[in-house]
Chain A
Amino acid sequence: MKLILNEEQQMLKDSAKDFAENRTPVNHFRSLRDDNDPQNWDKEVWKEMVELGWSGILIPEEFGGSDFGLAGISVIMQEIGKTLTPSPLLATAVLGASAINTFGTQEQKAEYLPKIASGEITTALAVDEESHHAPSNTLTKAELVGDEWVINGKKKFVVDGSSADVLIVLARTSGVKGENAGLTLFILNANQEGVEVIKTDMADCRNYANIVFDNVSLAKKALLGDQESGGEAIDKILDEGRIALSAEMLGNSEAAFEMTLNYLKERKQFGVLIGTFQALQHRAAEMFVEIELTKSAVMAAMQGADENNNDLQRMASLAKSIAGETLYLVSNESVQMHGGIGVTDEYDIGFYMKRARVAEVIFGGANFHQERYANLSNF
């Protein structure tokens, strides 16, 4: 495995960089927030992303995608992460596309994938039910009643949950809380009877929902993957999501760091630039090193995913954990090094801290992934 981008990936990265800088600088996010945009992402921007082919990167050509792989979508996430661009990329183009493409029947693929690629639908993955990420703690129940599955339960903190047209839901068909066995994935329309979507407002002003399933009846073909195979399937889907999200978090760190470096080179106190103070220089150098380590972990995970590396779970946990810790460090230090304006709403740097803490919780924080890494490594 080479830890560098190939030509195709580099081109995607360059075009995403260009898009983020020109079409969606941080002000784009700011105005969505100021306007209380009900969807928290911009339809027009999403349409342009679709036109660039981003929604189909994990989708095979026969279903209208380009099949450029996880590294391809991850470098895009990294670039748009730099300007905090909100979009359905993670929930739809990574999680939805990967779940359906990997575990769907031919029929399901034909039904959903072309619509994802063309931007006709967006999706959301409903996994967690508690305040901490824990797929195996799923209690939402699916029972076979006659010919139909009946689902009851409540999902929490579903990314893009309030805008999605299609939901992929992790439910328990047997076993008890804490077990991975007995979990099954279902796919359904969000406007299905019995589904109640409750939009939630989180610190990063992005789209999330809690979703209640009250006797939701589904045809048998709503199973995604085999019955009781959801525990393993969700792990694979989530790992792809975690890696793409790590790339976005890396982009967040890079941008916050760059803004801070620029500030150190322009702000004067005591008659000199504050960047001459060694107390700040060394902390900046430490951040640089942590960002470099993060780049390597993310690069290895995304390239590993595309090469079916058999150590992918550990690599995904490494990437998410290190990306999270680095972003924690950088977001805090960035605010501190800006002094008073760092804690104002008018200045962008605070946005990075709010996004950092929310992204940290999505699909497992550093603690979750350290525990997982330790178990996988037999520590």
Chain B
Amino acid sequence: MSTIFGVPAPALYGQILIGLINGSFYAMLSLGLAVIFGLLRIINFAHGAQYMLGAFAAYLLLSYAGIGYWLALVLAPLIVGAVAVVIERTMLSRLYGIDPLYGLLLTFGLALILEGAFRYWFGAAGQPYAAPAQLTGALNLGFMFMPIYRGWVVVASLVICLGTWLLIEKTRLGAYLRAATENATLVQAFGVNVPLLLTLTYGLGAALAALAGVLAAPIYQVSPLMGSNLIIIVFAVVVVGGMGSILGAIVTGYVLGVLEGLTKVFYPEASSIVIFVIMAIVLLVRPAGLFGREE
């Protein structure tokens, strides 16, 4: 059997793939966080809960309405986005312009309530959610066998990240969003309905988290705490990439996912902390993050 740096090649490829999958979720989630933070100046601690809600929406749609994976991929983000819009209108919008700490506390509280409620209803154990028939099985890549669903997640997340990036960088709506991130008052004085833009942005960020949740359901199972386990790492990713940097969030997500996978191969003991070590180093050397603008 061939080895690379003394490690069996299949094990290495396997961990890189797992790293890419995890990185896909880091990227999608930190992207939403970065967009929300950029415009709303709210650190959305409920992001993990919104990811969990997306997975549960898919699970419940299937168990109670017989609605399968593909439709859930559309419906779950819409449902969670709608919930987020209500949250923004009724609660978050009262906190704009004051200390960001309040937004963090509010969304943290919401996350605890949501996760507590789902744990009460469904228990802490994970519920299985099967991948759709079209995406089961494995593909022989020559150097390794790749489960088709995992390949799909990597491709789908790349498309989602690229699509969001294009929306922000290349469209009129994106130009409003970028401009309002710099100077919301002036954009509103030009006649753009900025309060609506804020609402839509929060809805979009939450919908992205929910979409990631649906993609995750067949891989990680559906459980009330699936989001809170992940969100801490995602916050570290955002810190490394730089708060508010869209491209930074995406690139950092994938890179840190793969680095974490590689650490599992070469020094497994450090694999669960490697991202935090990198975060600490970045905070020391470049506090605004790798892609953040120093202010």
Q: A and B: real partners?
A: no
List residues of chain A with CB under 8 Å of any chain B CB: none
List residues of chain B with CB under 8 Å of any chain A CB: none
